[in-house]
Structure 1
Amino acid sequence: MATRYWVVSLPVQNSASSLWNQLQEQISKHSFDTPLYRFNIPNLRVGTLDSLLALSDDLVKSNIFMEGVSHKIRRQIEELERVSGVESNALTVDGVPVDSYLTRFVWDEAKFPTMSPLKEIVDSIHGQVAKIEDDLKDKEHDAVCLAVRDLSDLVKSEDIITSDHLVTLLAIVPKYSQKDWLASYETLTNFVVPRSSKKLYEDNEYALYTVTLFHRVADNFRTSAREKGFQIRDVEYSSEAQETRKQELEKLMQDQERLKSSLLQWCYTSYGEVFSSWMHFCAVRVFVESILRYGLPPSFLACVLSPSTRNEKKVRSLLEGLCGSAIRQVVKAIAHWKAEDEVGGGMVGLAGDADNYPYVCFTINLV
């Protein structure tokens, strides 16, 4: 399976079918090992030029966001499969492998009506992906909370101070935040015992610290610590409680395995939803950038290619050759204007595209 694709649109001079035939012939003749597919984009509402320009400013940022969420869920799947010993499954969208979904893309009219304004479609796509990302954070947090180990075996009796007025709490501090903890814990509330924090344990992600303070400010301390990203836990050191804690830990481990399995199944489904939304967004992006590049009415051929690294220059040359000379001159002029603007400052590049190709092109990285 290829993991890196170009999404390209070429200006149509006569007919899309004849241009497609030319492209197939050129690729077959000069770079026959480059997979080539049509990328079918429906007739979308154009709106005004101002609305397209405003939308184009956000397209690159939105694409980075969606790609990032896709990769985040993929990495979570790989990690869950690794720690659970589950055989890796091919990622799919409604049962279709993701690479096939991309190369045989079909717009989902029921999900994203083409009569809706483009901005409304983009906002809807972005909102769905953002909600899935939020859900992932919540589910990861639940899994992490259950995974927090029993702390009693890390605490000795001499680490704990308990009296009528004083109490010792345990702080779970992200490893990268230890300097922040040491610099701030004494001021999170009043009546914290100075220099009372002692590190008991550290792993790859967290460090465990004690802190001693007056009973009456413990709740305030917990609240202030939580706002800064520190988890505060109570602990009562008691040898008699060890057996109870052991049983609790066994239950937590069982719950953790159940949550991992549930999270993995959720990730499989959510990855497909994010990938589908991302591909619909790419279709909108091709449409917008093609109009801004080639003008109205919309007349372009969109396709997906996956050239090998050694053939990239050759394929780019073939694509450029299929663009009309007028288009090439326009892009050269744009490149000249952008070069001048980099000196003087002011003009925004066409469709936010930093590459001065005479055709629309951007990359999709599946991993």
Structure 2
Amino acid sequence: MYWLVSLPLLESEDRSWTLVQNKTTYENDYSINFKFAIPDLRVGTLDSLMVLSDDLVKVNALVESVVNKIRRQLFDMGSGRAEDFQEVSVEGVSPDQYLERFSWNEAKYPPRRPLSETVSAITETIQRLEDDLKVRMSEYNQLKGLVTAAARKQTGSLAVRDLTGLVKADDAVNTENLITLFAVVTKQDKSEWLSTYETLSDFVVPRSSKLIFEDQDYSLFSVTLFKRVADSFKAAARSKGYQVRDYEFDQELQENQSEAAKTLKANADSKRSQLEQWSASAYGEAFSAWIHICAIRLFVESILRYGLPPKFLAVLLKPNQKNTTKLRKLLASLFGSSGTSQYFDGEAGATGGLAGESEMYPYVSFTVSVDG
């Protein structure tokens, strides 16, 4: 977690930076600090800045939410461990390093272009990424659902699962007069089945029943009999609590289903890989866009707070979480032109800032959470 702040200059930028470093890092273990470079952006009119200030609150919320959506998608496809997420990069470095070494992308976002146009361009980019994410997730989840449904057919209870793959060619007889049926029997009824199946109807082939497959609860038995008594055998079996499954062995069908399942799984794996690669790339693009929005917000709020010409020091602080209250008080005492009580309450923060955040201090401050 970081604080992105702009501090009013005390004589010069160098003196302000040295003061912050001495008081927060060298003399106290309050924070690690990084200069946050913002170019000479085009200011425009005061009215346009006021409008943009309001818009930026909404845009920031949108951009941050898309960054976190893509981030969660990467977590969902991985192990969900933070150490795995460190492999994701933003322009070749980790998200933390990108933020700590932030440099404005002048080629992509010309500094002298009106800020409203830059914000609009970033918004369009983020909306495109969000739309792409929805489409790609939908395509992958659809294939994933089909794979799951196919797997359930192959791994569910014998009472409902597909017998394809369990029954082999030599397990089934199907001639002009004979047919093989398949009975699902609870495990506790195995002995009774083996001792009584020959008596369930006439014309059952003696000693023809054999165990085909077992799961946790059921056993699958084959039994061969004359076709003309198949219906009466099924009725007698059902009266005993046995479930007779209709299944006709088809070698070609088995091979086709097996091939179709492999193709479906391969397609799903390919779609997953594509989604993962896209998400990693899109995360970098979205994260970079978000930090540029943060930079614009800091610039706009600083102009509205300190006036023209721009005279402020932009700093990224990584607070020591044990000393955040002390750090706030220190910054307020150093940079509060009219004392700390007007802006800072050590217990509850304050009443609302220009940027629409829940905090207000005698300097502009935003919280940036890389971890979502």
- Note whether the superposition's TM-score is higher than 0.5: yes
For 1:149, the equivalent position in structure 2 comes to 146
Q: Secondary structure of 1:69's partner?
A: helix
Gaps (5+ residues) in structure 2? 161-246, 345-349
Distance 2:134 2:355 in 1: 33
Q: Does 1:256 align with 2:260?
A: no
Is 1:49 the counterpart of 2:61? The answer is no
Instruction: Report the counterpart of residue 122 of structure 2 in structure 1.
Output: 125
Per the alignment, residue 235 of structure 2 pairs with: none
> Which structure has the highest helix share of the two?
1
Q: Which residue of 2 aligns with 1:277?
A: 289
Query: Using the alignment, how far apart are the partners of 1:88 and 1:329 within structure 2?
Result: 41
Is 1:23 matched up with 2:23? Answer: no
Cα distance per residue 1:278-300 (max 9 Å; x no partner): 11111100000111111111110
Structure of higher CA gyration radius: 2
Given the superposition, is the C-alpha separation of residues 148 and 350 from structure 1 closer, same or farther in structure 2, using an over 3 Å criterion? closer
* Residue identity opposite 2:307 in structure 1: G
Question: Structure 1 CA distance, aligned partners of 2:9 and 2:92?
Answer: 34
Pick from 355, 359, 368 the counterpart of residue 364 of structure 1: 368
Aligned pairs for 1:43-192 within 5 A: 43-82=40-79, 89-149=86-146, 153=153
Change (3 A) 1:238 1:141: farther
Structure 1 residues 313 and 109 mapped into 2: Cα distance closer, same or farther (>3 Å)? same
The match for 1:227 is none
CA distance in structure 2 between the aligned counterparts of 1:239 and 1:126, rounded to whole angstroms: 58
Asked whether 1:268 is paired with 2:280, we answer yes
TM-score normalised per structure 1: 0.67
**What letter corresponds to residue 365 of structure 1 in structure 2?**
S
User: Which residue matches 2:325?
Assistant: 313
Query: Structure 1: how far apart are the matches of 2:113 and 2:266?
Result: 48
Specify whether residues 95 and 244 from structure 1 end up closer, same or farther in structure 2 by C-alpha distance, changes over 3 A only.
Answer: same
**What's the RMSD between the two structures over aligned residues?**
2.9
The SS at the match of 1:93 is coil
- Mark the CA change 1:72 to 1:31 in structure 2 (over 3 Å): closer, same or farther: farther
Partner Cα distance (1:82, 1:323) in 2 = 45
Label 1:314 to 1:87 Cα distance change in 2 as closer, same or farther (>3 A): closer
Distance 2:27 2:301 in 1: 28
Q: 1:129 to 1:239 in 2, by over 3 A?
A: farther
What corresponds to 2:34 in structure 1?
A: 37
Q: Contact (CA 8 Å) 1:31, 1:314: kept in 2 or not? A: no
Rounded Cα–Cα distance in structure 1 between residues aligned with 2:40 and 2:342: 25
Q: Deviation at 1:90? A: 2.0
C-alpha contact (below 8 Å) 2:353/2:359 kept by paired residues: no
For residues 307 and 50 of structure 1, what CA distance do their matches in structure 2 show? Answer: 34
SS of the counterpart of 1:105?
A: coil
TM-score, normalization by structure 2:
0.66
For the residue of structure 1 that corresponds to 2:271, the secondary structure is helix
Q: Deviations over 1:234-258 (max 9, x none)?
A: xxx9986565334222211011111
Amino acid at match of 1:251: T
CA contact (8 A) 1:9 1:302 kept: yes
Q: Distance in 1 between matches of 2:73 and 2:355?
A: 33
For the residue of structure 2 that corresponds to 1:82, the secondary structure is coil
- For structure 1, the residue ranges without an aligned partner over 5 or more in a row are 157-236, 333-337, 340-347
* Corresponding pairs, count: 270
Q: What is the CA distance between 1:311 and its match in structure 2?
A: 0.5
